[in-house]
Amino acid sequence: MAEDPVNVNEYQELARQVLPKMYYDFYAGGAEDQYTLKENVEAFHKITFRPRILIDVSKISLSTTILGYNVSAPIMFAPTAMHKLAHPEGEVATARAAAACNVIMILSYSSMCTVEEVASSCHAIRFFQIYVYKRRDITAQMVQRAERSGYKAIVLTVDVPKLGRREADIKNKMIAPPLKNFEGLLSTQAVSDKGSYLEAYADSTLDASLSWKDVRWLRSITKLPILIKGVLTHEDAIKAVEAGVAGIVVSNHGGRQLDYAPAGISVLEEVVHAVKGKVPVFVDGGVRRGTDVFKALALGAQAVLIGRPVVYGLAAKGEAGVRRVTEMLKDELELTMALSGCPTIKDITRGHVITDRERLHSSL
């Protein structure tokens, strides 16, 4: 592709061209039949707009607040693993792009740059994502390091009691490089004769006994607000609020865990209605356009998380690529707001979109 990309999807093609197949498949792939991976994108296509006209949209503001922090747009960088596989500067380049765009970055537990390196690289607003390991002391140490390094929230991912079956990684015998964050804490090498070394590593470290009591444990060891990531039902949304979390991320892990789980956007309203405004709700999975961001906001999300687009931008053009991907989404969101009659984020309402289910109901 000789021309510069004009949308996020074209960055994916650039990333495919420059990355080794093993790494591209790792970033792009999903679980088993990849139904949920595809549905994450397709579900957005089933939502259409109800634009309002003759409203003054000569000035559009995308700015909003997330957990009290002022940001330029309702977009956050989702926690995605091992950015140095995409670019030599890794998560440091991603953080600098977040700072330049004034959006929040959630650093992955599986970052290839340390918590401290990312913190010292720029002044981005940073959250830190964690898993709970069998060895609770390791999780506790990571939380404490994030707190000392100025991270503003903890994002607890709860949908990985075991790693999903990612068949491309198995075929490629995907190898997980050592993670600097865990040097001296545990071995980051795992041996498997069945395919994916990532799966063997996850089986040896992740705690399948993780339960709601561990959310309370996590709250007891940190003063930082805790967001819970991986909620897909109203039942679990209610339990999350009862457990004292500061926010909920509706997520199916980018289609990488349980195949045939619903797309996040399709169950977003269910979660929003369950929490009744007690905590903010965010959503990830399949966001590729500014129109997708608008749809998520109309259905009750306070912001969206973008994962693969960040990695694709990083692989294609480093920090500049991540910045460009973010600006593309912001520009498209701004245009969507103007054409829908919404001068500010607060003007985006449920009445601005219609879902497939509503269309079907109205036709009966």
Give the span between the Cα atoms of 356 and 346, in whole angstroms: 24
Catalytic residue among 83, 87, 253, 352: 253
Packed helices 212-221 and 136-148: angle between N→C axes, nearest 10 degrees: 40
The maximal CA–CA distance of the chain, rounded, in angstroms, is 64
Let me know: does 307 contact 82? Beta carbons within 8 Å.
no
Nearest to 132, CA basis, from 199, 212, 188, 187: 212
352 is catalytic: no
Residue in the structure block whose two tokens are 């109800």: 50
Q: Is 72 helix (H, G, I), strand (E, B) or coil?
A: coil
Q: DSSP secondary structure string, 109-148?
A: TT-SS-HHHHHHH----EEEEE--BSSHHHHHHHHHHHHH
Tell me the residue type at 347. D
CA atoms within 13 A on the CB side of 269: 12
> From the CB of residue 52, how many other CB atoms can be counted at a distance below 10 Å?
15
> From the CB of residue 40, how many other CB atoms can be counted at a distance below 10 Å?
27
CA atoms within 13 A on the CB side of 72: 19
Question: Judging by beta carbons within 10 Å of its beta carbon (0-12, 13-18, 19+), is residue 194 exposed, middle or buried?
Answer: exposed
Question: Kind of pairing, strands 303-306 and 126-130?
Answer: unpaired
Positions marked active-site: 253
